[in-house]
Chains A and B, each alone.
Chain A
Amino acid sequence: MSAGVLIVGAGHAGGAMAAALRQSGYAGAITLVGAEPLPPYQRPPLSKAWLKGEAGPDDLLFRPPAFYSDKSIGLRLSTRVAAIDRTAAAVTLEDGQRLPYEHLVLATGSALRALNVPGVASTGVLELRTAADAERIKAALAPGRRLAVVGGGYVGLEVAASARSLGAQVVVIEREARLLARVASEPLSAYFARCHAGHGVEIILGASVTAFEERAGAVAGVRLADGRVIACDVAVVGIGALANDALAAAAGLECNDGIVVDERCRTSDPAIHAIGDCTRRPLPRYGRTMRLESVPNALEQAKQAAADICGRPAPKPEVPWFWSDQYDVRLQIVGLPFDVARQVVRGDANAGQFAVFHLDADNRLQAVEAVNAPGEFVAGRQWVGARQQVDPARLADTGLTVKQIIDPAAPGAAGKP
């Protein structure tokens, strides 16, 4: 029997890859090697429902444990791949054992950027990437505990919201002049700043962290460049992620802030595919390449790679999308705001229900950020994919239904999608 497909990284992308191969009828051996002790699980709930105690451990799993044995998918957990030997078509594990492959799929994900300041090793300075990290954060949060979140990105803000609902006091410290500076439009940043303040979160912008103060080895505060010290009992640091591409780079595969892949997830070695957070991928809709850190991206790339390995036609391209839950706010973003000439806000941010539409110079829809506006999100997904031209005035007119924006003949009551 051939060595089959060996998948390195048993995260969302790796799990989806194994499932997609079997769905595509792949009959060879599949082995999933993962450094974490758990079978593939979903990270999004770790900062959301799971942290708040609204989801259990089984809800996290990508597939039930029996799935892997039923589908003859070999799982090697708590096992790290140390090197790739492309000439021999085999990988070496940390304990020196070698595993051969016919196709290798790298699904190594991303790792959190380290904050290299004094005191970062104190007890109570935590980060959130894995289920084990989430357990530590949950154990450290309780009513009255003071949490400092360093980094106002999506994960940080979700942790802040979940911690508030657990009764903790929360301060968010962000280096940029606004929250979500790299990943959201200004109206959206402003909305989330108001929303968190309204829930009692203190937000400190334009502040860089220079040290963690400690008392008897445990974190006691966060020191800022202006000399202020923000007292806390727990700190969660989330200042961005870096692609885990070292394994690929050491094997001589082309990397450029991520493993470089094509639209079929092929690397510079035809026997090796790469998928998920660890890749730099083409975005045909925008004529660019980019690193995307999202579950839909991991799933789309798993389908692309599985189709390629099975010699099937490529799946239909998808429009990148993302979601975030904070308090009772559901944010859904579709598309990427490249080449934007104007922004149109539809709805009322003060009422907590609105969408920011991003148009290019020809009024083609590039991206939509929808806050508690699922109709605008799903319409936006189709329009972005179709490069739909939209009339800005009609977009802003909430007297029209979403359908009526592009189809004046569409029926429907005002305010309804």
Chain B
Amino acid sequence: MPKVTYIEHNGTRHEVDVPIGLSVMRGAVDNGVPGIDADCGGECACATCHVYVDPAWLARTGAPGEMEKSMLSFAAVTQENSRLSCQIPMTAELDGLVVSMPEGQH
């Protein structure tokens, strides 16, 4: 199964198996990885599943959609590599993906 590494704001790393088709957000919450709130459960409505995609993976995760871009436009600490993790579905190509979390989601 493809793996994703989640890095908490304090540096703690979590390597987790994420089934293909599930979102990167789901991979974190289903395994109790702290740092992703996901208030809306993956509906792109809350922007509390914000992650920074490791630059090496940006080409493979693709670009955010319009709604996601607007939601990210004001997230507390948005960067070039910011994404909403509920909008990144897991694929075989993303095996090894590394994302890190901001200090807080609210």
Contact = CB atoms under 8 A, between A and B. Distances in A.
A289 interface: no
Interface residues of A, number: 32
Interface string A21-44: 011000000000000000000101
Interface string A389-406: 000000000000011000
Given A299-B39, A316-B106, A323-B40, A417 B70 contact: yes
Interface stretch (A63-71, A148-156, A166-174, A274-282): A63-71
Interface string A100-129: 000000000000000000000000000000
B75 to A, nearest CB: 7
B40 A378 contact: no
Nearest to A317: B106
A357 interface: no
A301 interface: no
Contacts of A403: 73-74
Interface residues of B, number: 23
B74 A417 contact: yes
Provide the main secondary structure of the chain A interface. Answer: helix
A42 B70 contact: no
A63 B46 CA distance: 18
Contacts of A22: 32
B41 A63 contact: no
A296 B71 contact: no
B34 A23 contact: yes
Given A44-B41, A417-B70, A19 B46 contact: no
A176 interface: no
B70 A375 contact: yes
Contact of B41 (A42, A71, A375, A402): A42
Given A63-B30, A295-B39, A296-B39, A330 B74 contact: no
Contact of A19 (B32, B40, B41, B71): B32
Given A316-B104, A378-B74, A417-B74, A23 B32 contact: yes
A314 B91 CA distance: 37
A402 B74 contact: yes
A208 to B, nearest CB: 33
B43 A374 contact: no
A212 interface: no
Contacts of B39: 295-296, 299, 321
Contacts of A70: 32
Contact of A295 (B41, B70, B72, B104): B41
A256 interface: no
Contacts of B37: 299
A325 interface: yes
Interface string B5-27: 00000000000000000000000
A378 B45 contact: no
Contacts of A78: none
B29 A63 contact: yes
Contacts of A321: 39, 46
A402 B73 contact: yes
A316 B105 CA distance: 10
Contacts of B97: none
Nearest to A372: B67
B92 interface: no
Given A42-B41, A295-B40, A325-B43, A375 B32 contact: no
Interface string B81-106: 00000000000000000000000101
Interface of A: 19, 22-23, 42, 44-45, 63-64, 67, 70-71, 295-296, 299, 316, 318-319, 321, 323, 325, 330, 332, 374-375, 377-379, 381-382, 402-403, 417
Interface of B: 29-32, 34, 37, 39-41, 43, 45-47, 67, 70-76, 104, 106
Q: When A and B form their complex, which 9 residue pairs have the shortest distance between CB atoms, in order from nearest?
A: A378-B74, A374-B70, A375-B70, A323-B45, A417-B73, A23-B34, A296-B39, A318-B106, A379-B74
15 contacts: A19-B29, A23-B34, A44-B41, A299-B39, A316-B106, A318-B106, A321-B39, A323-B45, A330-B67, A377-B71, A378-B75, A402-B73, A417-B70, A417-B73, A417-B74
